[in-house]
Structure 1
Amino acid sequence: MAGGRGPTVRRRRLASELRRLRERKALTIEEAAERVGWSTAKVSRIETARVGITSPDLTRLLDLYELDAGKRTVLHALARTARTKGWWDAYTDSLPSDYATYIQLEAEAAFIRSFDGMLVHGLLQTEDYAREVIRSALMALSPPAEVDRRVEVRMTRQNLLLREENPLRFWTVIDEAVLARRVGSAETMRGQYAKLAEFAGRDNITIQVLPFSAGVHPATAGTFAIMEFREPYDPDVVYVESMTSSLYVEKDAEMYWYTLAFDHLRAVALGPDESRALISEMAEKSS
C-alpha cells in the first residue's frame, strides 16, 4: 500500500474491494473489461487506485459483480469520500509519501495495537521528546522550519486519542529499553514519563511495559502496529517501518503472525498498573 501520494486511503480501499469482488466472480481483468465494454487498462488502473472511479462506472461494475443493494450504498459512499482532504494535506510539501499514507490510515483506524522497541510511539510523545526524535532522524539535513512542521504534525495526530467522540483505542507494549533510553535532556525525559502516566489514565489507552526480565521475545525484529478499522470493507493492516521505507502487511497468514506476536508480548509484559508504577519510578530517578 505504500507509494505515491496521489491515491487516498479510501481510494486504495475501494480499489481493493473492487478487485476482491471481481475475483469472487472468478473473472479476469480482461473478462471484466470486456463485459462492461472498457479497456483492460481502465479496469487495471481502477483496481490499482491509479485513477478514481465515477458513480456511473462504479454502478456498472457492481451490476457485473451482482452486489446487493446494502453493500452498494457503502461502496458508493466510499467512492464519494475518496477525494476528501484531511488536515495533513496542508503539510504535503514536507511529509514523505509513506508517512502521509500512514497518517491517513491512522486517522481512519478504530483500534491500534503497537509494539514499540526503540522509541515512545509518536501518538504518545511530548513536543520536546518529538522534537529531539525528529531532529535526530533528519540528521541535520533539513532546516529548523521543517523540524517544526514535523513536530506540529505529530502533536496534531494526538487529537485522535483526545477527541470526545469515538476516540482512537490504542494499546501499546513498550520495551523497557525505550524508557531507559535518554532522549534529550533529563527534563525532556521527566516530561515524557509524566505524559505517559497521563495517557495511561485514559479509558481508551492501554500502556504496558515489556521488562528486561522478559528476555527474548517474538518481536526482536522491530516495531510494528496492527491497525483495525470500523468499516467491514476495511481489512486489518500491519504497519512496519524501516529507516528508508514502510511496509504494509495485509495477507491473512502474515497478519496472524503479527497478532500472535502481540498477544505474546502483552501476556509477558507488566500489567497496566505495574507499568504505570514503573514509569513513575523512572520519573523519580530522573529528578
Structure 2
Amino acid sequence: MAYTSEERAQGLYQRRPIGDDGLPSAVLPEMYSRTTAGPQAAAMILGERLRELRVERAITMTSAANAIGCSVSLLSRLERAASQPSLKHVRNLAKYYDVTSEEAESLASLVSQALAPKWWHAYNEVVPDWWIRLVGLESAATCVRLYEMRSVPGLLQTKEYARAVKKAGGVSEVPEGLLDFQAARQERFFGGSIQSTFLLDEGVLYRTFGGFEVMASQMQHLIQEFDNPNLRIRIVPFSAKIGSPVASLTHILFAGLPDVAIVESVDSAVFISEEPSGKYKYLMDRLIYDSSSRSDSLEMLKVAKKRFASEISV
C-alpha cells in the first residue's frame, strides 16, 4: 500500500495479531495528532519529509548542504534521523525548498517534538551511542523482528544472564547503570503494543553464560514469555535449510517509513535503511520460515531448562 506524504507524516500502523511471517496480519493507517508523535518517530518523519522535498525538486544533497551552510554528512544524518535536528537548518531548508508557510511550520513542529527529552538520556554515560540509536528506533517501531545466533537477545535477558553475557564479552565489572538501562528498555518495549518476533539459534539453548542456575532461570523466563500476545519466540534449529551470514540481525518496521535493518557485532552496529523488499527482510523471512513451530520451540526451551536444572546440584 502506498502512502502520501501527509499520511506518512500522520499515520501509524494499527496493531494486529502476528502472522506467520512475523508481521502484523493486517496493516492499516491509523491517524493520530502530530503532537502525540514520540521524539524518534518525529525525527524519522521529519527526515523522510525533508528527503522527499529535496528529491521532488531534483536538488542534490551537495547543493542543499551548500545552500544552508552545512556539510553533506550532516544533511545525510538529518534525513536519516541519525542525529538531532537543528531548527535553524530545517527552517533554512524549508526556505530553500520554497515550501508553503503551513509546511514550514509543520516541519518546525516536528523539530520540537524530535528534541523533546527522551528517557534514555539519563543513561548516556554508560550506554554506547549505537545502542541509544537502536532504542530510539524501537520506540518508533510498529513491528520488530530479531535473530540472534550467540545469546538470548537483550530484550529477553534476565538481569543475571545479561551480567554474565557482558562479562563473557570482556567487561570485568558490569555497571549497574547498564543493567538498569536494559531493564528500563524491556519495560517500555513490552509495555507498549509493538508486535515482535524473536528468533533464537538452537545453539543459544546450549551456550552457557553465568552457570547452570542462571541458564535455567533464563530458559524459564523465555517459557513464560510465550503467554505474551504481542511477542513470538521461535527457535531456528541446527537442521534449518538456510544459515544467517550475520550473528545478530534486527529488522524494524515503521508506519509509512522505510524499514531499518541493524547488523550488530560485539561492540558496534551498522544501520541500513531499506525498502520492504530489501535483502535483510528476505533473510528474516527465510529464517522465520525455517524456524520451529510454536509448540516445538516451547518444548525445546523446556528441555533446555530441564537440562540446566539437572546440573545445578551435580
Which interval holds the TM-score relative to the shorter structure? 0.7 to 0.9
- Is 1:18 matched with 2:44? no
Residue 282 of structure 1 and its aligned partner are, at CA, apart by 1.4
- The number of residues matched between the two structures is 266
Counterpart position of 2:168: 136
Do 1:109 and 1:227's aligned partners in 2 also have CA atoms closer than 8 Å?
yes
Q: How does 1:74-223 map to 2 (within 5 A)?
A: 75-140=107-172, 143-144=173-174, 146=175, 148-163=176-191, 166-215=192-241, 217-223=242-248
Structure-2 change in CA distance of 1:84 and 1:213 (3 Å): same
CA RMSD of aligned residues (A): 3.0
**SS of corresponding position for 2:146:** strand
Conserved 8 A contact 1:134-1:150? no
Matched, 1:225 2:253: no
**2:73 is the counterpart of 1:41:** no
The letter of the residue matching 1:41 is C
Shift of 1:131: 0.9
- Separation (CA, whole Å) in 1 of partners of 2:143 and 2:64: 35
What is the distance in 1 between the residues matched to 2:153 and 2:119? 20
How does the TM-score come out when normalised to structure 1? 0.80
After superposition, where does 1:248-259 map in structure 2 within 5 Å?
248-252=271-275, 256-259=278-281
TM-score (norm. length: structure 2) = 0.74
Paired with 1:156 and 1:229, the residues of 2 have a C-alpha distance of 22
Once the two structures are superposed, the pairs formed by residues 242-281 of structure 1 within 5 Å of their partners are 242-252=265-275, 256-281=278-303
Q: Distance in 2 between matches of 1:178 and 1:74?
A: 47
How many angstroms does 1:256 deviate by? 1.5
Give distance in 2, aligned partners of 1:258 and 1:68: 39
> Alpha-carbon deviations, 1:262-281, whole Å to 9, x = none?
11111111111211111112
Q: Distance in 2 between matches of 1:259 and 1:227?
A: 9
Task: Name the SS for the 2:235 alignment partner.
Answer: strand
Secondary structure of 2:163 counterpart: helix
- Distance in 1, Cα, partners of 2:283 & 2:194: 22
Structure 1 counterpart SS, 2:147: strand
In the alignment, is the contact (CA less than 8 A) between 2:143 and 2:252 conserved in 1?
yes
Q: Would you say the 8 A contact 2:258–2:275 is kept in 1? A: no
Q: What do the CA deviations read for 1:18-50 (whole angstroms, capped 9, x no partner)? A: 13320121123566579xxx5443887455336
1:76 is displaced (CA, Å) by: 4.2
Q: Percent identity?
A: 24
Offset, 1:177 = 0.2
Instruction: Work out whether residues 91 and 108 of structure 2, in 8 Å CA contact, stay in contact via their aligned partners in 1.
Output: yes
Measured in 2, the distance between the counterparts of 1:223 and 1:43 equals: 30
User: What's 2:3 paired with?
Assistant: none
Q: Report the Cα distance in structure 1 between the residues aligned to 2:160 and 2:65, rounded to whole angstroms.
A: 54
Per-residue deviation, 1:75? 4.0
What one-letter code is carried by the residue in structure 1 that aligns with 2:135?
Answer: I
Whether the 8 Å contact between 2:199 and 2:235 is mirrored in structure 1 is yes
Q: Is the 8 A contact 1:183 1:189 kept in 2?
A: yes
How far residue 13 of structure 1 moved from its aligned partner, in angstroms, is 5.6
Contact in 1 for aligned 2:261/2:274 (Cα 8 Å): no
Q: Deviations over 1:43-94 (max 9, x none)?
A: 874553367343895397178365796x777644421211112221111111
Q: What amino acid is aligned across from residue 267 of structure 1 in structure 2?
A: Y
Shifted more, 8-17 versus 198-207: the winner is 8-17
Distance of aligned partners of 1:74 and 1:57 in 2 relative to their CA distance in 1, 3 Å threshold: closer
**What are the ranges of 5 or more consecutive residues in structure 2 without an aligned counterpart?**
1-38, 310-314
